Structure 1
Amino acid sequence: MTAYKPVTAAQIFPDPARDAFARAYPNQPVKLRHELTGHELLTIDALAHLAERMPASSVEYNLGKLPLGVRPEDTPANGLTLGETIRSIETNGSWAVLKNVERDPAYGALLDGALAELAPLVARETGPMLNREAFLFLSSPGSITPFHMDPEHNILLQIMGEKVMTVFPAGDQELVPAMKSESFHDGGHRNLDWRDHFRDRGTPFRLLPGDAIHVPVKAPHFVENGPAVSISLSVTWRSERSVAEGELHGLNALLRRRGLPTTRVGARPEKQRAGRIAYRLMRKLGA
């Protein structure tokens, strides 16, 4: 494998981007700038080679022109291999994600460089970065990523092409009912039910090469790709706060199944020690 020179965080997020991130983190989406456009690890050919050496469990791909509210079981396959999908992404109408690419040493170094200068800004708000991961997204022209949410703190860096990501407020009970959060943290799918009247609640962010966006934990969003192939790199981490929120929703899922009262998940779930301990005990006991 070719030896790549690690990229430092100072080469990725300029000072104004770090300042904007610090003002927004952890609860607000914000557009940033980055310096990874044109990086040799992020070309279509490099990503096709990466995909072909990854385990099947770490890749996902399908046809890309989907409704915003598609059910996971209704997502159509494209009839191609992953390598074929990536190499012909310009014309095959597909979407692909490569998961946990940080397990490859070169991409792990890229992730480390991207997060190094952000880590102090994160630590003062939500503690140390935990479970740092990286994902790569490739989309054909006109592809749609359906309405969904993710459990991680996330910065999406646009590398090639353009897209519009529409981000909705985290914690909106109509967008994400409590039972959906519970099922999500109990192993359920990330896709959410879509209603057309939701659209006005979202904020669209147009992302060109060199743009990035901070997406808060579980902030619902969908993505509409532009007229060219899109490549995006997502760098993510967990925090004690995000882990605690997941534990408390997991606890409520267990309580609800038994007909017991659920607990309130507050703005600082990391402080709700009793509920977190109860969840861990119930899981340990096989509840």
Structure 2
Amino acid sequence: MSSRRDFLKLSALTGALSFLLPKAARAAAKINKPIVVSTWEHGMPANQAAWDVLKTGGRALDAVEAGVRIPEADPKVRTVGLGGYPDREGKVTLDACIMDEHMNCGSVAFLQDIKHPISVARKVMENTPHVMLVGEGAKQFALQQGFIEEDLLTAESRADWQQWLQDQQVQMINIENHDTIGMLALDSDGNLSGACTTSGAAYKMHGRVGDSPLIGAGLYVDNEVGAATATGMGELMIKTVGCHLVVELMRQGASPEEACRQAVLRIAKKLGDYAQFQVGFLALNKRGEYGAYCIQSGFNYAVQQQSGAQLIDGKSLLGDKA
């Protein structure tokens, strides 16, 4: 009888251990940190600037701000900051937001004549009781904070706008018309932050604001779970609060790529005619795992970690169906 009881106890203990060991193994797995990821090819030099902060033990918040300032100041990046495509009235209007590990966030929208909206957004976060400032009020605040007013419409962007006025064709936001840079970072302390900045859709209506400055739509960070950012047609991310959705799917156990895929599928199901649009998400979880997914092929994202830098083609809904 004693041996039978011992056998049953051992069987129960073995069963419990077999259930717990996978969880224990996951918990013991090394966290991939520091790491920074960002949308599009212009994320490569942006990531390098962020990595310069992270590799010396710097904070993720400082890294993402430093990173996205690179394309903001590069006139060759035509959809962010200086040299960005103007709206249909020939005005370059900028949107940006930033969010740290403590759920602090700042945002600016419809900002004109200030090259670094991401840094203005951080000043909103740190120096005001507000989350978002827009338009002339955002500009006045920026000037009060010491930012310099300058003309952001380059000769190249002006020429493209004048050409657009002749035919007024709407451009697909994709590899041939890059938009937002969204950046997510996990630092050596295991804390997450994110930033998102853009000049928005080319030749948009004057006054249009997309998802990029909206916390939960174009960017969301939850330091317990992960972070997400978005690219593509902003209105669709706004309608679904897309980045918050991606983070919540990761909270439920989805990997970063799977969370992005589920968010894209939800949007595609609602649209029906989704092949006309581009929507993409990029996510990074608390363990330093990352992934992306989009509707159209052509979306890529940049990764910088201890093992080096790489540009990865995101998986896509239409690509999966090919």
Higher relative contact order, structure no. (Cα contacts within 8 Å, ≥ 6 residues apart): 1
**TM-score normalised to the size of structure 1?**
0.30
Specify the structure having the higher radius of gyration (Cα): 2
**TM-score normalised to the size of structure 2?**
0.27
